[in-house]
C-alpha cells in the first residue's frame, strides 16, 4: 500500500472569506513590524508605559502625603526634600503629580470608553443600514460637531454639575462624533466587499454579518482613534478642571493644580510649570503612539 502525498490545494478553491482572513492576518503582522520599526511610536509607547507604571506604583514612588498641609513650607522651590517644590498649602508637588497619573488614566479610559461604545454603535448602524437611518444619525452627529468641543463640554458639565465624574461623561459625549464618522466611513467600504456579499447570499442575518464580517475589518481606524482620543480626553478634562468644572479639591488632578497655582505664577512658577509639563508629556505620548499606529495600519502609507 503506497502512501500518496497530500495534494496542494488550488488557490482558486479557497473560499473568499478564508482568503480575506489570511490577508487580514498578514496585514496585522506587517503592521506590528512597522510599529516596532517606527521611532515615533516607540517613543510614545515608552511615555505611556512610564505613565502606567507610575500610576500602579504611585504609593511607592511618592515621597510625601498628597493631603498633608504645612503652611510654613508653602511655595518652597525644588529641593532634595521636595523634588518639584511645594504648592500654596505646602503640599509636595511631586507626590501630587505622581498620584495625578491615576486620575489621568481614569479620565482617558472612561471618557474614551463612552465615546467608543456609543460612537462605534452609531457609526456601524448608520453605515451598514444606510437610507433614513443613516440620514438621521449623521445629521445628529453634524449638529454635535457644529459646536466647539470645549464649549459643548462646558455646557454639559454646567447641566450635570461640576465634578470629575461629570467631566468624564461630558468629555466622552463630546468625542462621540469622531468615532461615529470614522466607523461609518470604514463600514461603507467594507460592506461592499465580496465576502460580505457571500455571507448575505447564504442567508446570514444582518447582525451576524455586522459583528463577524464588517466590524472586525474596521478595527484599524478604531484603534488609532482610541489612542488619539485618550490624549484629547485628558487635555479636555484638564481644561474643565482648570475652570473649576472638573476635579474638586483636594484631588491631585493636573488641571486643577494649574488653576490653584496660577495666582503664584510669577513668584513660584514651578507650581504651574511641572503639572503643565506632565499634561504635555502624557498628551504627547498618546499622540505620538497614535500617529505611529496610523502610519502602520494605513495600507496607503505602506512603503
Q: What is the pLDDT of residues 211-220, one digit of tens each?
A: 777 777 788 8
Reported as half-sphere exposure (CB side, CA atoms, 13 A), residue 81 has a value of 7
Give me the pLDDT at residue 191, please: 77
Rounded Cα distance between 296 and 37, Å, is 10
Give me the pLDDT at residue 3, please: 46
As a whole number, the mean pLDDT across the chain is 82
Give me the pLDDT at residue 170, please: 92
Share of the chain above pLDDT 90, in %: 27
Give me the pLDDT at residue 20, please: 52
Give me the pLDDT at residue 221, please: 84
Residue 6 pLDDT > 90? no
Give me the pLDDT at residue 1, please: 44
Q: What is the pLDDT of residues 240-270, one digit of tens each?
A: 888 888 888 788 889 888 888 888 888 888 8
Give me the pLDDT at residue 33, please: 73
Q: What is the pLDDT of residues 10-42, one digit of tens each?
A: 445 545 555 555 555 565 566 677 777 778 888
Give me the pLDDT at residue 23, please: 55
Residue 300 pLDDT > 60? no
* Fold classification of 37-52+84-301 (topology level): MetI-like fold (1.10.3720)
Residue 272 pLDDT > 70? yes
Say if CB 87 and CB 70 are below 8 A apart. Answer: no
Residues 57-62, mean pLDDT to the nearest whole number:
91
Give me the pLDDT at residue 174, please: 92
Residue 4 pLDDT > 60? no
Residue 67 pLDDT > 80? yes
Closest among 77, 104, 75, 111 to 260, alpha carbons compared? 75
Residue 190 pLDDT > 60? yes
Sequence ranges of the domains in the chain: 37-52+84-301
At 97, the pLDDT band (50, 70, 90 cuts) reads very high
Share of the chain above pLDDT 70, in %: 87
Rounded Cα distance between 55 and 149, Å, is 28
Give me the pLDDT at residue 24, please: 55
At 302, the pLDDT band (50, 70, 90 cuts) reads low
Residues 224-233, mean pLDDT to the nearest whole number:
89
Amino acid at each position: 500500500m503506497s502512501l500518496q502525498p497530500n495534494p496542494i490545494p488550488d488557490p482558486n478553491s479557497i473560499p473568499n472569506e478564508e482568503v480575506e482572513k489570511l490577508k487580514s492576518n498578514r496585514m496585522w503582522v506587517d503592521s506590528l513590524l512597522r510599529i516596532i520599526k517606527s521611532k515615533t511610536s516607540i517613543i510614545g509607547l515608552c511615555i505611556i508605559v512610564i505613565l502606567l507604571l507610575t500610576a500602579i506604583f504611585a504609593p511607592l514612588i511618592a515621597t510625601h502625603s498628597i493631603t498633608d498641609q504645612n503652611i510654613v513650607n508653602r511655595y518652597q522651590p525644588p529641593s532634595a526634600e521636595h523634588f518639584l517644590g511645594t504648592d500654596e498649602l505646602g503640599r509636595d508637588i511631586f507626590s501630587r503629580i505622581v498620584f495625578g497619573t491615576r486620575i489621568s488614566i481614569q479620565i482617558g479610559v472612561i471618557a474614551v470608553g463612552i465615546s467608543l461604545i456609543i460612537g462605534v454603535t452609531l457609526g456601524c448602524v448608520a453605515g451598514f443600514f444606510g437610507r433614513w437611518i443613516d440620514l438621521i444619525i449623521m445629521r445628529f452627529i453634524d449638529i454635535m460637531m457644529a459646536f466647539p468641543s470645549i464649549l459643548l463640554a462646558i455646557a454639559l458639565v454646567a447641566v450635570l454639575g461640576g465634578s470629575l465624574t461629570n467631566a468624564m461623561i461630558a468629555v466622552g459625549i463630546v468625542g462621540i462624533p469622531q468615532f461615529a464618522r470614522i466607523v461609518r466611513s470604514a463600514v461603507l467600504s467594507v460592506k461592499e466587499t465580496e465576502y460580505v456579499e457571500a455571507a448575505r447570499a447564504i442567508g446570514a442575518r444582518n447582525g451576524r454579518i455586522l459583528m463577524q464580517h464588517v466590524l472586525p475589518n474596521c478595527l484599524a481606524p478604531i484603534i488609532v482613534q482610541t489612542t488619539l482620543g485618550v490624549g484629547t480626553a485628558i487635555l479636555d478634562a484638564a481644561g474643565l478642571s482648570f475652570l473649576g468644572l472638573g476635579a474638586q479639591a483636594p484631588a491631585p488632578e493636573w488641571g486643577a493644580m494649574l488653576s490653584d497655582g496660577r495666582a503664584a505664577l510669577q513668584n513660584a512658577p514651578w507650581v504651574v510649570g511641572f503639572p503643565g509639563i506632565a499634561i504635555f508629556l502624557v498628551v504627547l505620548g498618546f499622540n505620538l503612539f497614535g500617529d505611529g499606529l496610523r502610519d502602520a495600519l494605513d495600507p496607503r502609507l505602506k512603503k
